[in-house]
Structure 1
Amino acid sequence: MATTFKNPIIPGFYPDPSICRVADDYYLVTSTFEYFPGIPIFHSKDLVNWRQIGHVLSRSSQLNLDGTPNSKGIYAATIRYNKGIFYVITTFVESQTGARRNFFVTAENPDGPWSDPYWLDDCPGIDTSLFFDDDGKVYVTANRRPPGGQLYPKHMEIWLQELDLETKQLTGEKYSLWDGALKYVHAQEAPHIYKVDGRYYLLIAEGGTGFTHSITVARSESITGPYEGAKINPILTHRHLGRDYPIANVGHGDLVETSMGEWWMVCLGSRPYDGGYRNLGRESFLVPIKWEDGWPVVNPGKGIVEVEGVKPNLEEQRWPTDPVCDHFDLSDLRMQWNFIRTPRGDFWSLQERRGHLRIRLKPETITEAVNPAFIGRRQCHINFAARTKMEFSPNNRHEVAGLVLLQNTDFHYRVEYVQSEIRLIKREAGHEEILAVRPYQHQKVFLKVEAYGQVYHFYFARVPEKWEILKEDVDGRILSTDVAGGFTGAYIGMYASSNGVESSNFADFDYFEYIGLD
């Protein structure tokens, strides 16, 4: 049996992890921003091997993402368990300058069904968290602008208020708990409260979610404060390791005590490559914790999140892995598939042609803040290969179908089969360039993309394995947040559009294969 594990524990765009333990079971949730379903939930027995068991926000009645801009929508969620009920609390960010609305949902089983949202009034800020005290009281924490005003850019404070579970609303006074461990370290957010040996501990993310990200901690004898910051703050950051370290921008952590009495932290981080670009977005990592002099110390003797570390003292539990090739032979989509924003209209089916995913063309396009006819999955490896078989008969120059490698509406690659040709389109900062065109007039087409670091190769074929070059040596860096901005990682998926014109046409996908080559 292996004695070590490798980070990240959940690779690909799975940021802002939050964790809770119920007996010998561990549950973890992450952010999803403009993607639907919202908030994937994972289960583990050993903190290392995780399997997805569902989504918290899986119904349109729970999550209306219509018009949500890139990298807005569902921000950091927190999962907690109390007296037979699971709770997930999160923030819905409507737009760049619009409301930040906080809500929570509940379930008796972690795989659902989860309730419709309970929206919280007078609950400012982002990154809400829940704390259940041993006296029966429940509290919400989040961030906000300090009531006295910001002293420097992105200066925020952490606040706390009691939650009434009967009325599903906040009650009583709001308390200011924290506004920074170090002067001018900005973006105080992601607060979590724990009670350890009779003291209250406040864990905070500071420094923004980029290269200067960090985690700090404070403690108090009273839940309402005052809170004393640890002299060893920040207890975790990689900003001092330089740009070449393989794991960057670590922060946004959540603590858990195992059934064996060990303490661990899940946190986000990124794996930059080929010049520091992060196509995979922010991922979920695991790091050990030891308590010294009443303070949590991260990975003693090392102080960093390692690529490979010593496993938790828990019995290993591996899960069956998802097949690398989805033949679309189930009654519903597998959990790795997502839509952009809440799906509107009956535009996909697994029943109309058994063993195929049928995607009907929608007038909406992937260049707009809408719900296009796109079904995709996360890029989870630095090196990967993906392929599909598509049947499509375009009726006019408006109708297209194929593959998309997506960072957002303004940064992506589209492999489109349009009338009489297959083309590769690069969209960068909203400007489009056709990189390659090949004549094609067959109903069936095989499409493939291979990525080796930031070098992407695109192929097509008329018959299996007889690949023809569409375009090789394409620059993948536009799929990185370092170029495109935002908070999400790259996706790859299937797409169909009639580009503003109504259409009854469709594309059938026989299978979709994704293989990590790392």
Structure 2
Amino acid sequence: MSHSKETFNNPILPGFYPDPSICRVGEDYYMVTSSFEYYPGVPLFHSKDLVHWQQLGHVLDRPSQLDLDGTPCSKGIYAATIRHHAGLFYMITTFVVSQTGARRNFYVTAEDPAGDWSDPVWLTDAPGIDTSFFFDDDGRAYVMANRVPPSGQQYPKHMEIWLQQFDIEGKRLIGEKYSLWDGALKNAHAQEGPHIYKKDGYYYLLIAEGGTGFTHAVTVARSISVTGPYESCKSNPILTHRHLGREYAITNVGHADLVESTAGEWWMVCLASRPYGGPYRNLGRETFLVPVEWEDGWPVVNPGKGVVELQSRRPNLPEHRFPAKPACDHFDSGELDDCWNFIRTPRGDFWSLTDRPGFLRLRLKPESIAQPVNPSFVGRRQQHMSFAARTVMEFTPGLDGEAAGVVLLQNHEYMLRFEYTKVRGSSLLRLVERKDGAEQILAAREWSGNKLYFKIEAEQQSYRFQYAALSGQWETLAEDVDGRLLSSDVAGGFVGAYLGLYATSSGMASDNFVDFDWFEYGGRER
């Protein structure tokens, strides 16, 4: 897609970065997104121009902040909100313990968002998900989230938004709980993602409705009192793509947050997806930017168009680019790059960048990536519809069941594993498709050797898997492999696809390990 000084390209955060929340401090903009069962939790970004973003790290990067043991796929850390008040950054979020278990709300603080954030402050009697802070100009603070209406649900996924005063010093909720909004539209459901803003004497309550899939939407209401009553905007939903069809270029738009720029412009960040190869969203829910103007006391999203665009007019801010990250990670640093994640909180001393400097070493754990556990896995998001990934590893499987390689992952039930393993005494290079928990070997051949190059190329939903004993001498193991099983539309859940390096001893103790010298990833949209 072309790029000029007048326009920018969406998404501003490509790949699995859902539920964006944004705040401005001076001339700096900060944004966080959801992270679910991945660790570290809550990726944190910084920008000067709203278009170019640099990751500062993660908010929840210590086990004392985030214990994801036993957390099911697509549970864990839900929508986070970031706000700044009186010299302190606040990040508040929901920890969804299990499918039916508690929703526990907590917040952490930091003076420097790039530094260490505090350990969690857990809120009691704070039901629901998608907690948010609002700091009023009279010094009072409030917390809001959603909940089942006290009078009961009148229809499926019927929720309401509640608000309660927050004692900043006492770090607790105080006073009465107010019901702010019990559905702006009669056909709306899954009311969630609330944020409050104050402008020109009105309090504006922005929420997400319709569920985070195809019928997702953004609606708004306003009041002269923070506790209500709120009146619904007559043009709600102020943003949705559900009327555009399932194969429109951008779908399931919703869950938004507003920010006013230093130039006095208003902008909205929101989540949306880019389906390809049909209504399939391997990239998950991504972060987009869209302009907002105010008419008659109400926000109008992208006036004259009313939709999120892949290319849009730039904010009236000086362009501020950050140094481009190299496509290849040579694992020469003492720390993993911010793009890398673990599945759940890493337990055990299973990875190292120092045992063999210049290599990422993964020790074989009995745990398997096909279980809802913390496997020996280090992965990064798929961020493009078409991409190429390459790596080289040194590994010899010693015992039956020992395996290492590259995995394309949606969750522990849906993946493609490109692995070197030993089965009944034979060393094999194979491609395994795991779909709905059932495994099928798509291709295999006997292999012997210690050093192995991998290459995976995706042309939209068509994947090719190649290997080599010597650099550049590629042989094809499988091609035209269907990638749609890596979409949440097939696999379910809320996360996007990952590419990762992994190792396992398949249930048995092992002293074996694998060394990866480098990992390269590059992509394009079409």
Question: What TM-score results when the alignment is normalised by the length of structure 2?
Answer: 0.98
Query: What is the one-letter code of the residue matched to 1:215?
Result: V
Give the corresponding residue for 2:435: 428
* Matches of 1:179 and 1:50, distance apart in 2: 36
Q: Please state if 1:179 is matched with 2:148.
A: no
| Aligned mate of 1:96, from 95, 99, 116 | 99
Question: Any idea what SS the aligned residue of 1:163 has?
Answer: strand
Superposed displacement of residue 244, structure 1: 2.7
* Matches of 1:143 and 1:203, distance apart in 2: 12
Question: Any idea what SS the aligned residue of 2:489 has?
Answer: helix
* Matches of 1:333 and 1:512, distance apart in 2: 12
- Summarize deviations over 1:83-138 as a string: whole Å, max 9, x none: 11000000000000000000000000011200000000000000000000001000
Kept in 2, the 8 Å contact 1:156–1:179? The answer is yes
Give the corresponding residue for 2:388: 385
* Matches of 1:72 and 1:62, distance apart in 2: 16
| Aligned mate of 1:469, from 466, 469, 476 | 476
Question: Any idea what SS the aligned residue of 2:98 has?
Answer: coil
* Matches of 1:286 and 1:433, distance apart in 2: 41
Q: Please state if 1:505 is matched with 2:512.
A: yes
Give the corresponding residue for 1:255: 258
Kept in 2, the 8 Å contact 1:385–1:517? The answer is no
* Matches of 1:86 and 1:468, distance apart in 2: 52
| Aligned mate of 2:325, from 319, 322, 325 | 322
- Summarize deviations over 1:415-471 as a string: whole Å, max 9, x none: 110131101100000000011111111000001100011100111100001111111
| Aligned mate of 1:339, from 342, 350, 354 | 342
Q: Please state if 1:168 is matched with 2:171.
A: yes
Farther off after superposition, 11-20 or 390-399? 390-399
Kept in 2, the 8 Å contact 1:129–1:142? The answer is yes
Pairwise mapping of residues 129-168 of structure 1 onto structure 2 (< 5 A)? 129-168=132-171
Q: Please state if 1:70 is matched with 2:53.
A: no
Kept in 2, the 8 Å contact 1:142–1:158? The answer is yes
Q: How many residues align?
A: 518
* Matches of 2:24 and 2:45, distance apart in 1: 12
* Matches of 1:352 and 1:327, distance apart in 2: 15
Question: Any idea what SS the aligned residue of 1:253 has?
Answer: strand
| Aligned mate of 2:492, from 485, 494, 504 | 485
Give the corresponding residue for 1:216: 219
Question: Any idea what SS the aligned residue of 1:159 has?
Answer: strand
Superposed displacement of residue 184, structure 1: 2.8
| Aligned mate of 1:452, from 422, 447, 459 | 459
* Matches of 1:165 and 1:505, distance apart in 2: 51
Instruction: Show structure 1 runs of 4+ deviating over 4 A.
Output: none
Pairwise mapping of residues 189-338 of structure 1 onto structure 2 (< 5 A)? 189-338=192-341
Query: What is the one-letter code of the residue matched to 1:280?
Result: L
Superposed displacement of residue 58, structure 1: 0.2
* Matches of 1:352 and 1:149, distance apart in 2: 57
Please report the RMSD computed on the Cα atoms of aligned residues, expressed in angstroms.
Answer: 0.6
Superposed displacement of residue 243, structure 1: 2.1
Query: What is the one-letter code of the residue matched to 2:103?
Result: R
Superposed displacement of residue 165, structure 1: 1.3
Kept in 2, the 8 Å contact 1:14–1:30? The answer is yes
Give the corresponding residue for 2:117: 114
Superposed displacement of residue 390, structure 1: 0.2
- Summarize deviations over 1:222-267 as a string: whole Å, max 9, x none: 0000000000000000011112310000000000000110000000
Query: What is the one-letter code of the residue matched to 1:285?
Result: F
* Matches of 1:243 and 1:391, distance apart in 2: 44
* Matches of 1:476 and 1:397, distance apart in 2: 28
| Structure 2 unmatched ranges of 5 or more | none
Give the corresponding residue for 1:363: 366
Give the corresponding residue for 2:53: 50
* Matches of 1:369 and 1:434, distance apart in 2: 21
Q: Please state if 1:14 is matched with 2:24.
A: no
* Matches of 2:468 and 2:223, distance apart in 1: 65
Kept in 2, the 8 Å contact 1:152–1:184? The answer is no
- Summarize deviations over 1:386-440 as a string: whole Å, max 9, x none: 0100000111112100000000000001111013110110000000001111111
